Amino acid sequence: MTSNTPAAELEAITAVEKELDRVINKFSEIRENAAAEINDVASLLEELLQVLARAEQEMTGTINTGTQVDADDHMTDEAEMLVEMEPSTPRLTDSQISIITEALQKTNEKLQRLSSEHRELHGAVSKVGKVIDRNFISDFTATTRTDALQDEENIMLLNKVMAKHYCRQGMDDVAQLLIKESKMPEDMAREVFESERSFAEIFRIWKAIQQHDLSLALEWTSRYSNELIAKNSTLEFKLHRLAFLQIISKGISAQAEAIAYARNNFHKFIDRFEQEIPNLMGCFIYLPTGIENSPYKHLISPEMWTEASYIFLKDACHTLGISKNSALSVVINAGCTALPALLNIKQVMQSRQVLNIWSGRDELPIEIDLDPEYRYHSIFACPILRQQTTEDNPPKKLTCGHVISNDALHKLSNGHILKCPYCPVEQNAEEAVRIYF
Amino acid sequence: MSEIKSMEHATLKVPYEVINKKFRVAQKSVDREVDQIQNYSKEVEKALMHRPVISDVSKLVGNVVQRLQVLKRKSDEAIGDELNASFICKRKLEHLKEIVQRDSNTSEEVWQASIDQWKRVRMDRMVIEHLLRMGYYETAERLANYSDIRHLTNLDIFHTSREVEEDLAAHKTTKCILWCLDNKSKLRKINSNIEFDLRVQEFVELIRKNQRTEAVVHARKYFPAFEKTQIKEICECMALLAYQPDTTIEPYRSLFDINRWNNLVLKFRNENYRLFQLSAQSLLSIAVQAGLSSLKTPHCYSFNCKNLNCPVCQEDFNRIAKTLPYSHCVQSRLICRITGLPLNEHNLPMMLPNGQIFGQLAIPEITKENGTVLCPITNTKFTNPKIEKVFVM
Ligand SMILES: [Zn+2]
Ligand SMILES: [Zn+2]
């Protein structure tokens, strides 16, 4: 089993890339080759046509003069008889015939070769498919115990969740279309638009930043300047920095504008960014030769926009106390983390001849290592039974303060007497109390 | 990122199948033209056998030259199509590559931003794929344009499927039959009987219109090809000749059922996915279920333990996740329900007399000046309660 390390992922991609590049090269080669070969034979035949045309002209010419000159001679030769009878239809000589035959043969050979050369590409093409199949997983059976999304009602609920997600981003028309195309019941559709709307503005600004438009973002941050400073956010500075760099990238003609921008906007960041601001001012040295050729070139790389939009999304959501991810995106991202692990355990279990990884379970077969921000509930796993507690098997606090599950408590107690497995306190098992996390 | 190998098979396989198809089309087109040229040159050769007239031969050779120009144009076009299909695949590959290779110069924050951005695109890609499978073409189209990721989706590939589906929905088989012919060998390979279903439908429609003689002609023309595999169905079909469309007798009633057209739409969609070797479920529905399971806890289904930020606690997902397995957990992970902070040695778990556990740091928040403590879960008031430390291993 190859684990899904970044190296293994890169290897998989590189393997496909190698085969695909080979196919692309071969296609380009054969495209050029085909054009050249066809031109070759075409011009050969065209030349031949010219030769024939010339021969035809010459022959009609000689025949005409010939008839005049030899008018009185007796013509016994059959061929000459023919010429005389049909003076306007010159015929091919044997050598001309063989030249034409040869040219046609050559044409056919070349075209056959062209066709078989193309056919030979099949191997290279299907190799791409094989490498994809070998390096990427296409079989997802058994990663779910039952397919909950076969159920019509659940399918519609998922449509609703999707519509909510796009509505949350302010993409109301996408949500509307989905409602229409999925024939969503009216009461459900209504709920879609009742959901939280404050994220839509954030999302619109986020998109604008990605399109290198900072005006909306700067307006928003100035509105929430105090809250952002209280949270020690770097957002406002980073946006002004980008705006400054946007001006300075215009070159020497924008020098005065850039100086004015710096003077007007950087003063309030001097304390917090005392290292960064001199760096930015250093850009002025390189203005004549261009920032892109200076030690500061990283400041104007396209990633700076991705970063700014990301920080905006994060800090703005934090400021408003809303989640930067919708329910749908949390679930999908959790699923994308879980799937490689589930596929992995499936393969391990199949190699041990365990056919059904779900047999009788109401739990995933493995623990999924989710981001801490995706942990919404306390989970208490009994340290004795290594099992999550449930309503039927709740956590109990022993008199000594240690917590174990109810089932473990019964297993460990002898009559009413229980010896705590973590401290030597002997106690009455019935004094343990049910607790709630 | 470690999710490429597990989740991106279809991203590459679908455009690969298109390359493969374009290859076959190109081969056919080249071979057809080469054959043509050979026919024309055979005519020249035939003419050469009998002391030919120059002008006749010139004309025939001229024909060959003309066909050569056609071959040149067609082969250039066909190979161009192959190249374009390859570049589409390549672009998708480049998109995947973006996220596995981190430039050593990028800062952590910039890298996080790129991953976040990439995941948003992935989610839109997954949603679009799901929408296409559901037949919500317009929504898929709008979303792709809005998110500017058309080149990363299979929208163009499934454009034909949309046309076929619309044709079927309008009770016409023409486009679907054409699609069957177009993919004949592949359909045979996956043992598809959709062509037979279409022929049956055409037969049924003729009877519905009471064109029984035409129906017989139709049956004679198309059914024998399926004799080996569908003999039982063929017999049932032929029996229709003796029934009226409003019959209540099975299986004839079902054969006359107008709903068969909807089933044909679904069947076509399904066969088309099989043709591209795509899994039966959309990646989105697989990921959603895996995600719900890995988030699902017993708390999500108990009345007073819900956390409104938790997707599984929210009504819609709560219902979808009902039959799905819970997350698995061997290590306790405790979070204070008041502050949201983890319970650990810096924030010891404390128990109120009613068994409710909160973090040490939250106790002042629920304690009033006069010493009463209000449990936010049960709304019970305690006067100077004994709050005990709890030890979780
Ligand atoms: Zn103890
Ligand atoms: Zn929950």
Domain ranges of chain A: 4-59+96-135, 199-320, 329-356, 377-434
Who among A6, A39, A379 is closest to B329 (CB)? A379
Strands A387-388, A381-382: pairing is antiparallel
CA dihedral in degrees (B210, B214, B216, B222; nearest 10)?
A: -130
Distance CA B161, CA B10 (A): 17
Q: Which of B375, B203, B287 has its CA nearest to residue A332?
A: B287
Domain definitions of chain B by residue range: 1-100, 154-276, 283-321, 333-392
Contact A90, A55 (CB under 8 A): yes
Query: In this model, does residue A79 exceed pLDDT 70?
Result: no
Q: How far is CA A137 from CA A347, B12, B190, B283, in A?
A: 11, 11, 20, 12
* Locus of tokens 């010891």: B348
Per-residue pLDDT of A391-432, as tens digits, reads 888 999 999 999 999 999 999 998 889 999 898 888 998 999
pLDDT of residue A63: 54
Helix axes A303-320, A235-248, angle to 10 degrees: 150
Distance CA A5, CA A122 (A): 32
The 3-state secondary structure of chain A reads: CCCCCHHHHHHHHHHHHHHHHHHHHHHHHHHHHHHHHHHHHHHHHHHHHHHHHHHHHHHHHHHHHHHHHCCCCCCCCHHHHHHHHCCCCCECCHHHHHHHHHHHHHHHHHHHHHHHHHHHHHHHHHHHHHHHHHHCCCCCCCCCCCCHHHCHHHHHHHHHHHHHHHHHCCCHHHHHHHHHHCCCCHHHHHHHHHCCCHHHHHHHHHHHHHCCCCHHHHHHHHHCHHHHHHCCCCHHHHHHHHHHHHHHCCCHHHHHHHHHHHHHHCHHHCCCCCCHHHHHHHHHHHCCCCHHHCCCHHHHCCHHHHHHHHHHHHHHHHHHCCCCCCHHHHHHHHHHHHHHHHHHHHHHHHHCCCCCCCCCCCECCCCCCCCHHHCCCCECEECCCCEECCCCCCEEECCCCEEEEHHHHHHHCECCEEECCCCCCEEEHHHCEECEC
Query: In this model, does residue A35 exceed pLDDT 70?
Result: yes
* Locus of tokens 């607790």: A435
Q: How far is the CA of A363 from the centre of ligand 1 (A)?
A: 29
From A344-358, A385-399, B20-34, B70-84, the region with the lowest mean pLDDT: A344-358
pLDDT of residue A140: 84
From A102-116, A243-257, B73-87, B167-181, the region with the lowest mean pLDDT: A243-257
Who among B3, B139, B355 is closest to A174 (CB)? B139
Per-residue pLDDT of A240-251, as tens digits, reads 999 999 998 888
Report the pLDDT averaged over residues B10-26: 93
More confident residue, A298 or A320: A320
Tell if the CB–CB gap between B310 and A135 is shorter than 8 Å. Answer: no
Distance CA A283, CA A123 (A): 55
Tell if the CB–CB gap between A38 and B58 is shorter than 8 Å. Answer: no
Query: In this model, does residue A358 exceed pLDDT 70?
Result: no
Q: How far is the CA of A166 from the centre of ligand 2 (A)?
A: 22
Contact A34, B79 (CB under 8 A): yes
Residue A397, strand partner residues: A403, A433
Query: Under DSSP, is residue B4 helix (H, G, I), strand (E, B) or coil?
Result: helix
Distance CA B233, CA B251 (A): 10
Mean of the per-residue pLDDT values for chain A?
86
More confident residue, B305 or A176: A176
Query: In this model, does residue B233 exceed pLDDT 50?
Result: yes
- CB contacts < 8 A, A to B, total 459
pLDDT of residue A360: 63
CATH 3.30.40 fits B333-392, yes or no: yes
Contact A9, B99 (CB under 8 A): no
**Which H or E run contains B178?**
helix B174-182
Who among B54, B139, B300 is closest to A178 (CB)? B139
Q: How far is the CA of B311 from the centre of ligand 2 (A)?
A: 6
A119 touches chain B (CB under 8 A): yes
A411 touches chain B (CB under 8 A): no
pLDDT of residue A69: 43
Q: How far is CA A76 from CA A61, A82, A83, B150, in A?
A: 22, 10, 12, 82
Q: How far is CA A267 from CA A117, A273, B93, in A?
A: 70, 10, 46
Q: Which of B25, B15, B16 has its CA nearest to residue B157?
A: B15
Q: Which of B163, B158, B45 has its CA nearest to residue A108?
A: B45
Number of helices and strands (H, E) in chain B?
A: 16, 5
Query: In this model, does residue A291 exceed pLDDT 70?
Result: yes
Confidence of residue A268 (pLDDT cuts 50, 70, 90): confident
Distance from CA of A359 to the nearest CA of B (A): 12
Report the pLDDT averaged over residues A357-383: 83
Order of strands, sheet of B388-389, starting from the edge strand that comes earlier in the sequence: B357-359, B349-351, B388-389
Measure CA of the first residue to CA of the last residue in chain B; give whole Å.
32
Query: In this model, does residue B159 exceed pLDDT 90?
Result: no
Under DSSP, the state recorded for B150 is: G
Confidence of residue A299 (pLDDT cuts 50, 70, 90): confident
pLDDT of residue A85: 47
Query: In this model, does residue A62 exceed pLDDT 70?
Result: no
Report the pLDDT averaged over residues A308-321: 90
Look at chain B and count its residues: 393
pLDDT of residue A111: 94
Report the pLDDT averaged over residues B63-70: 93
From A21-30, A385-394, B211-220, B307-316, the region with the lowest mean pLDDT: A385-394
Per-residue pLDDT of B186-208, as tens digits, reads 899 889 999 999 999 999 999 89
Query: Under DSSP, is residue B324 helix (H, G, I), strand (E, B) or coil?
Result: coil
pLDDT of residue A282: 85
Chain B: residue whose CA lies nearest to A207: B147
> Would you state the structure tokens that stand for residue B298, as one six-digit string?
């017993």
pLDDT of residue A70: 44
Mean of the per-residue pLDDT values for chain B?
90
The structure's pTM equals 0.84
Query: In this model, does residue B247 exceed pLDDT 80?
Result: yes
Confidence of residue A81 (pLDDT cuts 50, 70, 90): very low
CA within 13 Å, CB half, A231:
18
Distance CA A236, CA A267 (A): 12
Under DSSP, the state recorded for B302 is: S
Tell if the CB–CB gap between A108 and B38 is shorter than 8 Å. Answer: yes
Distance CA A193, CA A165 (A): 10
Confidence of residue B173 (pLDDT cuts 50, 70, 90): very high
Query: In this model, does residue A21 exceed pLDDT 90?
Result: yes
Q: How far is CA A374 from CA A9, A325, A326, B183, in A?
A: 25, 10, 12, 46
Q: How far is CA B352 from CA A378, A397, A434, B339, in A?
A: 17, 12, 11, 16
Distance CA A187, CA A185 (A): 6
Q: How far is CA A334 from CA A85, A199, A222, B162, B164, in A?
A: 95, 21, 35, 32, 36
Per-residue pLDDT of B349-371, as tens digits, reads 999 999 999 999 999 989 988 88
Distance CA B33, CA A111 (A): 10
Cβ neighbors of A199 (< 8 A, separation 6 or more) are A168, A169, A170, A317, A322, A326
Contact A406, A396 (CB under 8 A): yes
Distance CA A328, CA B168 (A): 33
Ligand nearest to the CA of A378: 2
Confidence of residue A257 (pLDDT cuts 50, 70, 90): very high
Query: In this model, does residue A1 exceed pLDDT 70?
Result: no
Query: In this model, does residue A2 exceed pLDDT 70?
Result: no
Tell if the CB–CB gap between B127 and A422 is shorter than 8 Å. Answer: no
Other beta carbons within 10 Å of B231 = 11
Q: How far is the CA of A419 from the centre of ligand 1 (A)?
A: 8
Report the pLDDT averaged over residues A135-153: 85
In chain B, DSSP assigns E strands to 349-351, 357-359, 372-374, 381-383, 388-389
Tell if the CB–CB gap between A388 and B54 is shorter than 8 Å. Answer: no
Q: How far is the CA of A325 from the centre of ligand 2 (A)?
A: 16
ipTM above 0.95, yes or no: no
Other beta carbons within 10 Å of A411 = 11
Per-residue pLDDT of B67-82, as tens digits, reads 999 999 999 999 999 9
The percent of residues above 70 in pLDDT, for chain A, comes to 91
Who among A145, A166, A401 is closest to B325 (CB)? A145
pLDDT of residue A67: 45
Contact B56, B46 (CB under 8 A): no
- For A377-434, the fitting CATH number among 2.60.120.590, 3.40.50.970, 3.90.1310.10, 3.30.40.10 is 3.30.40.10
CB contacts of A337 in chain B (<8 Å) are: 3, 294
Q: How far is CA B70 from CA A35, A112, B66, in A?
A: 11, 16, 7
Report the pLDDT averaged over residues A178-188: 95
Report the pLDDT averaged over residues B161-168: 91
